[in-house]
């Protein structure tokens, strides 16, 4: 097992969840029905700030390489928030970050981070499409840049997983990633249902 194998397994196991988290309905849920540019930017910024908050809590745990990774990812997340929103803020962390914050071992935390990046890449891909459809090429390019940054950060998490995991560690990492993805998908379903929208149809 390696990180590439784990990512492939996660994509296979959560194919339906990823297809829906990468849909326009996911944008509708993330923005609480406010499908405008400012709301999309605010949702992206809040997601980044929620990640930074979790990583701050982990700052003193793990070996030097892992602590450095957490610090780098937290700093990058804050930069992302400031890049996409004029006044980034976080009122309440999305449930996937509650799940992520609950992990204690390095394999679990890195596995959970991998799950988070896979979810966030689905969101950001849809955000690019939103701004393309909104005839805002500058914003679309901003979010293409964000997507590229997230892909690089995901790759760093994968490298850390390969360095940190052996044997049963991969099971713990996989379970943590599953929990994060499931938390994001459950939130998507529950948010849409609370708005009277059926989450099953992908659009």
C-alpha closest to that of 60 among 117, 115, 104, 107: 104
| Residues of the chain above pLDDT 70, percent | 98
Across 183-188, average pLDDT: 96
CB 45 within 8 A of CB 142: no
pLDDT tops 80 at residue 43 = yes
pLDDT tops 70 at residue 115 = yes
| pLDDT score for 62 | 77
pLDDT band of residue 202 (cuts 50, 70, 90) is very low
Tracing tokens 């929208």 back to the chain, one arrives at 197
Share the mean pLDDT of the chain.
Answer: 94
Weakest mean pLDDT among 20-24, 105-109, 169-173: 20-24
Strands (E), the chain: none
pLDDT tops 50 at residue 153 = yes
pLDDT, one tens digit per residue, over 66-105 is 999 999 999 999 999 999 998 898 888 899 999 999 999 9
pLDDT tops 50 at residue 113 = yes
C-alpha closest to that of 167 among 107, 120, 123: 107
């Amino acid at each position: 097992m390696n990180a590439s194998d784990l990512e492939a397994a996660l994509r296979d196991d959560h194919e339906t969840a990823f297809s829906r988290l990468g849909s326009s309905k996911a944008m509708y849920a993330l923005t609480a029905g406010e499908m405008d540019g400012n709301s999309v930017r605010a949702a992206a910024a809040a997601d980044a700030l929620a990640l930074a908050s979790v990583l701050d809590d982990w700052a003193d745990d793990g070996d030097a390489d892992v602590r450095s990774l957490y610090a780098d990812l937290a700093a990058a997340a804050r930069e992302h928030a400031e890049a996409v929103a004029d006044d980034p803020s976080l009122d309440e962390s999305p449930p996937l970050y509650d799940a992520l914050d609950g992990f204690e071992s390095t394999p679990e935390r890195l596995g959970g981070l991998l799950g988070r990046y896979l979810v966030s890449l689905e969101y950001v891909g849809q955000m690019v499409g939103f701004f393309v459809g909104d005839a805002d090429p500058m914003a679309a390019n901003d979010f293409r840049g964000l997507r590229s940054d997230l892909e690089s950060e995901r790759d760093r998490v994968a490298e850390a997983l390969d360095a940190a995991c052996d044997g049963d560690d991969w099971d713990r990492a996989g379970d943590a990633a599953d929990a994060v993805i499931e938390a994001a998908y459950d939130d998507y379903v529950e948010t849409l249902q609370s708005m009277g929208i059926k989450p099953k149809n992908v659009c």
